């Protein structure tokens, strides 16, 4: 069964740079998500997806999406 872990870090850009420098494979690149988090993702050896994020902006939902 798929498992994803979503971890907040103080500086997602610095963590991304450090992990890249160590040769860690990044499965999803750094990007700004519509909900305001800057994220990237790695896959651990057991196949779990680990997201790292820093909140950097207010949410801007895609057209047609309502926040509840």
Express each pLDDT in 34-64 by its tens digit.
999 999 999 998 889 999 999 999 988 899 8
pTM over 0.75? The answer is yes
Q: Is 16 buried (19+), middle (13-18) or exposed (0-12) by CB count in 10 A?
A: buried
Q: Which two tokens stand for residue 61?
A: 């939902």
Quote the longest CA-to-CA distance of the chain: 41
Angle CA 45–50–52, to nearest 5: 140
What pLDDT is recorded for position 4? 92
What pLDDT is recorded for position 47? 87
With a cut of 90, say whether residue 68 has pLDDT above it.
Answer: no
Question: What is the C-alpha end-to-end distance of the chain, expressed in Å?
Answer: 28
Instruction: Give the mean pLDDT of the chain.
Output: 94
């Amino acid at each position: 069964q798929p498992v994803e872990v979503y971890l907040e870090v103080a500086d997602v850009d610095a963590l991304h740079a450090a992990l890249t420098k160590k040769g860690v494979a990044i499965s999803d690149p750094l990007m700004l998500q519509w909900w305001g988090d800057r994220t990237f993702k790695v896959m651990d050896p057991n196949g779990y997806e680990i997201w790292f994020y820093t909140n950097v902006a207010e949410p801007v939902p895609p057209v047609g999406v309502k926040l509840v």
